[in-house]
Structure 1
Amino acid sequence: MPAIHRLSDPLINQIAAGEVVERPASVLKEVLENAVDADSQAIEVLLEAGGVRRIRISDDGCGIDKGDLALALERHATSKIASLEDLESVATMGFRGEALAAIASVARTSITSRARGAGHAWRVEGTGRAPEPAPLNHGTVVDVQELYYNTPARRKFLKTEGTEFAHCDEAFRRVALARPDIAMQLTHNGRVSHRLPASDMTRRVGLLMGDDFLEHARAVSVEAGPLQLTGFASLPAYSRASRDAQYFFVNGRFVRDKLITHAIRQAYRDILHGSRHPAYVLFLQIDPRTVDVNVHPAKIEVRFRESRAVHQFVYHAVERALGHSGAAEAGGDAFVPTAPVAPTGAPPAAAFGHYAPTPVQSPLAMESAARNYYDFASSARPTESRTQGSYTAPAMPPEQTGEAPPLGFALAQLHGVYILAQNAQGMVLVDMHAAHERILYERLKTVLDGTPSIQRLLIPAVLSVSAREMATAEACEDALAGMGFEISPAGPTALSVRTVPALLASADVGELTRSVLAELDDMPATEVITARRNELLATMACHGAVRANRTLTIPEMNALLRQMEATDRADQCNHGRPTWTQFSMAELDRFFLRGQ
């Protein structure tokens, strides 16, 4: 075996560069974070050849003193932490003290800086050199040229100029979204790609994500104790084929976290299906002492001390924002939708807005209730009276007033598929099947939100399990029982399943049980059961909803509109399709060239 020896400092730095400096975008990210930490108000980035030939970042921050300039290029040298207590509550973007040293070991690097109050600026090129006087008004300029000039093997792994610039552009966007209060500019090969003035979050998001994103997004603003979540989450109409429009920040730091991704995906589970991905820009503020940012060399991953609490907070915050139906505000007037009054002599379920089925104990009974729902609803003939605490749509729409409901009043039915209505803003077009499907689905979920019914198996199912699955079943016995599972050991490596949730009785018992056990380490059993249950309910609601070519009367159409206004997530059906759209009078006038 060869003798053990100490590595040289240049080799140590080049090894570290393999972790920190993956490509030009990695250099840009690290230096931009240092510029942000320097209390800069304006940052300019200049790139050449996708950042491979040159990356120049200038800021107007506090600058670096002459005595600290050479030290800035040394490993494990930083001004941001000095003790373990500082590390446990990091509030800056950078803190490791490795980035500049790693960059200088694989590229021609120079730093020019003028500290506030200094007579002039100083410049240092590479490590081990003394600073020299240099011209600069204020701030700091970091110039990185010829990346990997001394490690050609690493340079061969870089992609085309266009690809590397795309990664740099993404790194720039992440920092720009995190700090809208800082003016930022990105120039590539002499062409300005982004010029972002200092502004508020909404304007910065619009400039980088596009106004189309803001038009199809819901604002998120929730605070609970030390946790605060703000930003925007898109509606399904703006879903993407990839995750390229997902930005999540923890205390201003962009992160990719499986826990957070799962929480947001769960919030979209009822309105976004298939292989589509949501778009969002969300900012989580949390006590720095409860989050560990020192778990990844590139600082892109974090670990939460109370991960379950953070997961639930993000999930409920996003779900609440998405669950708020735009139908309730479509008309722009203050209006609180309530259920229509059933006509005299009609059964309790004889109106869209008054559905109160008796508790069901089996999937067959639940499906029957869903399919019968429209039959009861369509038999209703709402009266034309309006009483205290209730609202009943008239047969024909009256003159529009300030009290007009958001979705207005029905005028006609188009080809047995769409409902045409008018509200204070203009024309509303509703897909009646999609809308009724969402109403049914939300009501069926409400029915089953109580104590779940169980299905006892005639012959207990015996499963062969691993030691980990056995331990999980024993540790989570109470949680499983609360979901409707009765599971007990049947041997050293076997489990006996005696009961399952009644609604999932037709599922494969072995597969269902293993799925629940596999997920119990990462999430509550309720989420696994809820996901399976909701899949069945969505199918049942689809079958129970009013079909195309079913003729509706004006009162029936108005009853459906009123129920939409009172239903969460009524803007999309169970498959993520829109249920209604608004055409303003201005849009109609432009189409018909009125006033021109």
Structure 2
Amino acid sequence: MQQIRPLPPALINQIAAGEVIERPSSVVKELVENSLDAGATRIDVDIEQGGARLIRVRDDGGGIAPDELQWAVASHATSKIGSFDDLEHVASMGFRGEALASVSSVARFALTSRQRDADSAFRIEVDGGNVQTARPAQHPPGTSVEVRDLFYNVPARKKFMRAERTEFAHIDDLLKSLALARGRVEFRLSHNGKPVRIWKAARDEQSELQRVAEVLGADFPQRSLRVDHAAAGLRLSGWVGLPTASRAQADSQYFYVNGRLVRDRVVAHAVRQAYADVLFHGRHPAFVLYLELDPAGVDVNVHPAKHEVRFREQRLVHDFLFRTLHEALAQTRAGQVASQAQADDGRLHMATSSAPVPGLPAMQSWPAHAPQSRLPLGVREQPLADYAALAGEPPRVSAVLPLPDADPGEAPPLGFAVAQLKSIYILAENAQGLVLVDMHAAHERITYEKLKAGRACSNLRSQLLLVPLSLAVSTKEAAAAEEHAEALADWGLELSRSGPSSVVVRRIPALLEGADVGQLTRDVLGELAQHGSSRRLQELENELLSTMACHGSVRAGRRLGIPEMNALLREMEATERSGQCNHGRPTWTQLSVAELDRLFMRGR
């Protein structure tokens, strides 16, 4: 074997570059994050040939002192941490002190900087790791970094670079995520001398939302909920997309921890569970969320490129995220967006709370059956049973004529029924125009929520197994069974640890009689071991209640009278999550008068 010897500094930097510099967008990330840490209010990013030829990042930040320029490109030299205590409370974007040294070792590098109170700027150049002496230069207050001919001295790495368009697309996506993280900073992006993006600095929440719309699409504000909730030293704010704004891919998900974009399994699991009851299978929610917590409560030093974090109170964070988003989505009701369109441009603006959500005024002020006045054209009087009887409630005395002589602007959110189409859809008129409702999907959600509420109000019964079931599990799962035995028993699952890697199941929830006990137990313990909590029992019970609700709801093909249809509309307005059925399909849609006018080319 060869002798043990220290590596040359240039080789050390190239190895470090291999960890953090994967492609041109990695360089842009490191440079822009340095600009943000310097307090920049404007950042210009100029790209040539997808970053292969040139990456230039200019800012108006605090600048670097002339005698510190050589340290700026040295390995493990930084102004952002100075002790282990600083490392435990990292509040900056970058802190390792290796980014510029790594970049300059695999490219032709130049850094020009001027402090705000300095008379002149200074420039330092590095070519393949060889640092030149700093010299005076012309530059406004701030810093410019130029990276030319990336990987020119590492041919093997250069071969892995993709086409110019692909590499620039990665840079564009990166700048979008950074622009969402720092709304008060102006960002400009150009490619081959042509302006591509300009994000003006946001001065208030409305302009921040405009930036969100530029990244996630112009219709996202109208299809999102504003979230702002704080508890237990944590604060979650931002925007979560309604289930109707879901996507086929998880490409519109931005989650920031103390301003840093992260990909985290705890976060992903909490969000997935929060949407579980309202999202169609295979769809992904869109969101821009900001989690703030004490820097000591999160370790950002677990990945060289800082893509991942580790929460010190993982279970607390998971439960906080789940409950906040779950409650926010529970507040959505069919017709809510339409009813607020004129006042708030169609965007729901909600702050979550642990207090019960009161019914909206519009929901309370409109009875299921309006006073007699007139019938819509083509609808015959039919003394049919009250709709509520379909949900198992006693029938009430109802008027036959549903449509009152009221100003359209005073109509409830989903308006008044005017007809039924093909015994499947309800057609209604509200202040905005035409409302279409899938009556089976809507009734299914209403019945489902009633079943869940009824189950929550009653004690869970458990079913004793005739023969206790012994299961082999991992040591970590067995420990989770022992730690959470009392909580599991509250859900009707009684089990105990019988060995280092085995458990015995004695009871299961009565509602889940006939389920695969072994698989159920392993799923629950697996989640407990990984996340510190599990909703698998509740999810399985919800699946069963959902099936019961589906079979207990009014079916397509059933003829409903106008009073029954109006009663359904009123219940939809008062039921949580009624915008989607139990399977995540939409229950209603709105066609405005303007959309109808365009359809029929009126006014052209």
How far apart are 1:312 and its partner, in Å? 1.5
* Kept after mapping to 2: 8 A contact 1:233/1:280: yes
Match status 1:380 vs 2:388: no
- Equivalent runs, 1:124-523 vs 2, <5 Å: 124-126=124-126, 127-199=130-202, 200-327=207-334, 329=336, 330-332=338-340, 335-338=361-364, 374=390, 376=392, 380-384=395-399, 395-400=402-407, 403-449=410-456, 450-488=458-496, 494-523=502-531
Q: Which amino acid aligns with 1:70?
A: Q
Gap runs ≥5 in structure 1: 343-349, 354-372, 385-392
> Counterpart of 2:18 in 1: which secondary structure?
helix
> Counterpart of 2:289 in 1: which secondary structure?
strand
* Kept after mapping to 1: 8 A contact 2:477/2:529: no
How far apart are 1:557 and its partner, in Å? 0.7
2:18 counterpart residue number: 18
Identity fraction in percent: 52
> Counterpart of 1:211 in 2: which secondary structure?
coil
Q: Which amino acid aligns with 1:567?
A: T
- Aligned mates of 1:151, 1:439 — CA distance in 2: 63
- Aligned mates of 1:102, 1:415 — CA distance in 2: 67
Q: Quickly say closer, same or farther: Cα 1:341–1:397, change in 2 above 3 A.
A: closer
- Aligned mates of 2:308, 2:591 — CA distance in 1: 44
* Kept after mapping to 1: 8 A contact 2:333/2:574: no
Q: Which amino acid aligns with 2:530?
A: D
Q: Quickly say closer, same or farther: Cα 1:467–1:264, change in 2 above 3 A.
A: closer
Gap runs ≥5 in structure 2: 344-359, 370-384
> Counterpart of 1:331 in 2: which secondary structure?
helix
1:170-201 deviation digits (Å, cap 9, x = unpaired)? 11111111111111111112232211111232
* Kept after mapping to 1: 8 A contact 2:333/2:572: no
2:573 counterpart residue number: 565
- Aligned mates of 1:86, 1:303 — CA distance in 2: 17
1:293-342 deviation digits (Å, cap 9, x = unpaired)? 11111111112222222112211222222222243533349724249689
How far apart are 1:236 and its partner, in Å? 2.4
Moved more, 462-471 or 60-69: 462-471
- Aligned mates of 1:160, 1:574 — CA distance in 2: 44
1:583 counterpart residue number: 591
How far apart are 1:97 and its partner, in Å? 0.7
- Aligned mates of 2:498, 2:237 — CA distance in 1: 49
* Kept after mapping to 1: 8 A contact 2:113/2:144: yes
How far apart are 1:492 and its partner, in Å? 7.1
Moved more, 456-465 or 243-252: 456-465
* Kept after mapping to 2: 8 A contact 1:397/1:410: no
Q: Which amino acid aligns with 2:18?
A: G
Q: Quickly say closer, same or farther: Cα 1:458–1:10, change in 2 above 3 A.
A: same
- Aligned mates of 1:419, 1:58 — CA distance in 2: 58
- Aligned mates of 2:396, 2:512 — CA distance in 1: 37
Moved more, 168-177 or 495-504: 495-504
Q: Quickly say closer, same or farther: Cα 1:241–1:594, change in 2 above 3 A.
A: closer
* Kept after mapping to 2: 8 A contact 1:40/1:62: yes
* Kept after mapping to 1: 8 A contact 2:444/2:581: yes
How far apart are 1:496 and its partner, in Å? 3.2
Q: Quickly say closer, same or farther: Cα 1:298–1:75, change in 2 above 3 A.
A: same
> Counterpart of 2:123 in 1: which secondary structure?
strand
* Kept after mapping to 1: 8 A contact 2:524/2:535: no
How far apart are 1:451 and its partner, in Å? 2.6
- Aligned mates of 2:497, 2:40 — CA distance in 1: 62
* Kept after mapping to 1: 8 A contact 2:368/2:566: no
- Aligned mates of 2:142, 2:325 — CA distance in 1: 40
Q: Which amino acid aligns with 2:570?
A: R
Instruction: Name segments (4+ residues, structure 1) moved above 4 Å.
Output: 338-342, 350-353, 489-494
Q: Quickly say closer, same or farther: Cα 1:401–1:236, change in 2 above 3 A.
A: closer
Moved more, 402-411 or 459-468: 459-468
1:540 to 524, 536, 548: 548
How far apart are 1:403 and its partner, in Å? 4.9
* Kept after mapping to 2: 8 A contact 1:44/1:59: yes
1:121 counterpart residue number: 121
Match status 1:100 vs 2:97: no
* Kept after mapping to 2: 8 A contact 1:107/1:146: yes
- Aligned mates of 2:525, 2:563 — CA distance in 1: 49
- Aligned mates of 2:170, 2:420 — CA distance in 1: 50
Q: Which amino acid aligns with 2:575?
A: T
Q: Which amino acid aligns with 2:251?
A: D
Q: Which amino acid aligns with 2:145?
A: V
- TM-score w.r.t. length of structure 2: 0.88
- Aligned mates of 1:25, 1:375 — CA distance in 2: 56
* Kept after mapping to 2: 8 A contact 1:400/1:423: no
- Aligned mates of 1:124, 1:191 — CA distance in 2: 27
How far apart are 1:400 and its partner, in Å? 2.7
2:376 counterpart residue number: none
